[in-house]
C-alpha cells in the first residue's frame, strides 16, 4: 500500500487515534532515525545499481515515502544513478496496483513493455507484472514473496550480484 492507504488503514481498521497524515509522519520519522544509523540494503545493491546505470536509464518505483527514498539515495550516494524516482504516495494506488511502475515508465518516456523491473516482494512482483513489464525477482530471504507472485517473474535470481548478467540476457 501507499502511505496514504496504510495510514488510513491504521486509523480506520486498527483504530490508531491519529489522523492519517500524523501516522505517516510518525512512521517516517522513526524509519529515518534508523536509516541514519544503517541503511538496510540487500547485499550487492550499490554495485548492482551502479552497474545497471552504466548501461541503462534507471527509474525507481517504490512503496516508500518520498522523504525516505530521498534519504536512502543521499546516504548511499545513488541519487545520480536514477533518471527518475516515484513514490507510491505520488500515484493513486500503491502496489500491487501498477500505478507506481506506470508512472516511472511514463517519466522515463518508455513503453512499460520495454522496461524490466527488479523486485523482491509479493506486491512488488504483482505491481510490475500488472504494469506489463518484464520482471526479475530477487527474493528477500527474510520476507520471501509468495510462490504465485514468483511465477510472474521472467527470472528469479539468488542475489543482486547476478543482476547484470540477467539484464544483459534480457536486453
Residue 151 pLDDT: 97
Where do the DSSP E strands lie in the chain? 58-62, 82-87, 116-119, 134-137, 155-156
- The C-alpha atoms of residue 161 and residue 113 are separated, in whole angstroms, by 24
Residues 16 and 75 in one domain: no
Residues 148 and 118 in one domain: yes
Report the CATH number that the domain containing residue 135 is assigned in CATH: 3.40.50.1000
Instruction: Name the pTM for this structure.
Output: 0.90
Per residue in 122-157, pLDDT tens?
A: 999 999 999 999 999 999 888 899 999 999 999 999
Residues 30 and 113 in one domain: no
Residues 14 and 90 in one domain: no
Residue 16 pLDDT: 92
Does residue 39 have a pLDDT over 90?
Answer: yes
Q: Which domain holds residue 26?
A: 3-37
Residues 138 and 78 in one domain: yes
- 5/78: higher pLDDT: 78
Residues 53 and 98 in one domain: yes
Residues 64 and 142 in one domain: yes
Looking at the structure of the chain, the number of domains it has is 2
Does residue 6 have a pLDDT over 90?
Answer: no
Amino acid at each position: 500500500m501507499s502511505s496514504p492507504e496504510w495510514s488510513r488503514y491504521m486509523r480506520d481498521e486498527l483504530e490508531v487515534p491519529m489522523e492519517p497524515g500524523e501516522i505517516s509522519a510518525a512512521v517516517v520519522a522513526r524509519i529515518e532515525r534508523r536509516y541514519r544509523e544503517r541503511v538496510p540494503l540487500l547485499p550487492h545493491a550499490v554495485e548492482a545499481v551502479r552497474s545497471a546505470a552504466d548501461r541503462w536509464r534507471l527509474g525507481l518505483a517504490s512503496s516508500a515515502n518520498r522523504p525516505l527514498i530521498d534519504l536512502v539515495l543521499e546516504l548511499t550516494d545513488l541519487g545520480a544513478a536514477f533518471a527518475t524516482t516515484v513514490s507510491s504516495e505520488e500515484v493513486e494506488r500503491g502496489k500491487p496496483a501498477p500505478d507506481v511502475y506506470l508512472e516511472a515508465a511514463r517519466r522515463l518516456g518508455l513503453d512499460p513493455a520495454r522496461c524490466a523491473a527488479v523486485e523482491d516482494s509479493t506486491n512488488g512482483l504483482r505491481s510490475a507484472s500488472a504494469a506489463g513489464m518484464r520482471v526479475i525477482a530477487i527474493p528477500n530471504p527474510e520476507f520471501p514473496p509468495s510462490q504465485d507472485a514468483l511465477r510472474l517473474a521472467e527470472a528469479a535470481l539468488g542475489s543482486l550480484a547476478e543482476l547484470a548478467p540477467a539484464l544483459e540476457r534480457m536486453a
